[in-house]
Amino acid sequence: MTTDSFDVIIVGSGPGGVNSAAPLVDGGKRVLMLDFGNEDRRYAPLIPKESFSTLRRTDPQQHRYLLGDEFEGVPFGHVRVARS
Q: 45-70: per-residue pLDDT in tens? A: 888 888 888 888 999 988 888 888 88
- What is the rounded distance in angstroms from the CA atom of residue 35 to the CA atom of residue 20? 14
What's the pLDDT at 68?
Answer: 85
pTM, entire model: 0.45
Dihedral-angle region of residue 68 (phi above 0 means left; psi in -120 to 50 means alpha; beta otherwise): left
16-51 confidence digits (pLDDT tens) = 888 999 999 999 999 998 888 777 788 888 888 888
- pLDDT bracket for residue 75 (50, 70, 90): low
Q: What is the pLDDT of residue 83?
A: 56
